[in-house]
Amino acid sequence: MRVAMISMHTSPLQQPGIGDAGGMNVYILNVAIHLAKLGVTVDIYTRATRPSQGTVVQLQPNLRVINVVAGPYEGLSKEELCTQLTAFARGVLEFVRENHIDYDLVHSHYWLSGQVGWLIRDVWQVPLVHTAHTLAAVKNHHRSLTDTPESEARRICEQQLVDNANLLVVNTSEESNDLVHHYDAQPAKIRMMTPGTDTELFTPGTERNTERARRELGIPLCAKVVAFVGRLQEFKGPQVLIRATERLVARDPNRNLKVLICGGASGAGAALENYIGLVHELGLEHRVRFLDPRPPEELVEIYRAADIVAAPSYNESFGLVVIEAQASGTPVIAARVGGLPIVVADGETGILVDGHDPDDWADAIARMLDDDAMRLAMAEQAVTHAAQFSWQSSAAALVEIYREALADVSTPSGPRVG
């Protein structure tokens, strides 16, 4: 089986937490790696953002990243990339034609890639499998009052993909319900594939590991530490954690609390300075530290250094950070939204919070930090809970979805590329 995977707006080679790179990058890369191990040949097409990488990057046997030139390497925001859909699609078609490649199936990720996938599906006469990752209607429904709404143009494009893709892949039943409710999707076209985590990398550290992680980060060993990992945008909720921290300090100025916020600004109007400014405004300079995004092998040290990982998102299709944290032996406090209630066992591996009121978040954080026995029990159960999610099983499930799409007699018939 040979699959053309489309990830136009963000490359799996980019560092998650910077710009538009996030959980989707982790998802695409790890699924592709394990598909390749199962014998599926995968080419990931993405927009070139610098010339030094070259056109083809061979990651491992059966897996390549193809960098397609579409517009300038730098200077285009995600909101402007729709102007380059034609150029990107032409680049994909040209590469395939020049290299005489014959694909069995197209798998697109996110709506921009889906628009390209929809076109080349009809050119190549092969099935199109589409994964939305996030949806405009859902983001607008759950967004904070100050967050920038998603455009109606995006929602229309997503509706076209829901109507025209052969199969739609979702992470959770919640996401399936969103497609049906907001986009009138046919349930018969929806397939669920639960994402995973790297359980060999994200493992609980020993007491010595935790001490070393804290020393390297310059965190006192006696402090209680709450960490946020992700892109800095209103939708992810870092401002909720910052305001909850202010409430905790106001209640008990002597509380030995440190907060780590690891990630880069992302999205329209987002800027690191906004969050630094909020920290200064609330007088939390000595409580809150900002850390640059880092690769997984370093990110695990953040999880190990923390007593709690907070995920105050306004919606999450799944929540890879939450699974990574639990696999690393760190309990979580997460918003009761999207797929987070699936990946967090409420009261067993963490606490789910209704809404985004900073006082409610302060209550949950205090409850977990002040009850060492409960927190340590949750940490132990978190590892067992996370173990049921693996990229190997995710890839195996996706292979079956691909086979079903290939067997679909409704796939347009006609000449193949090559």
Could you list the residues known to form a binding site for UDP-N-acetyl-alpha-D-glucosamine, using ranges.
Answer: 15-16, 23, 231, 236, 294, 316, 324
Q: How many CA atoms lie within 13 A of 35 on its CB side?
A: 28
DSSP-H helix ranges across 315-412: 320-327, 340-343, 358-370, 372-386, 391-407
Binding-site residues sit at 9, 15-16, 20-25, 78, 110, 134, 154, 231, 236, 294, 303-304, 306, 316, 324, 330
Count other Cβ atoms within 10 Å, centred on residue 374: 15
The tokens for 341 are: 């209630």
Residue owning tokens 């909020």 = 278
Binding-site residues for Mg(2+) sit at 303-304, 306, 330
**Longest pairwise C-alpha distance within the chain:** 72
Torsion-angle region of 305 (φ positive above 0: left; ψ -120 to 50: alpha; else: beta): alpha
Rg (alpha carbons) of the chain, rounded to whole number? 22
Binding-site residues for 1D-myo-inositol 3-phosphate sit at 9, 20-25, 78, 110, 134, 154
Strands (E), 105-174: 105-109, 128-131, 167-170
Q: Nearest Cα to 354, choosing from 333, 331, 374? A: 333
The tokens for 253 are: 């100025």
Cβ-proximal residues to 171 (8 Å cutoff; 6+ apart), any chain: 192, 193, 194, 195, 317, 318, 339
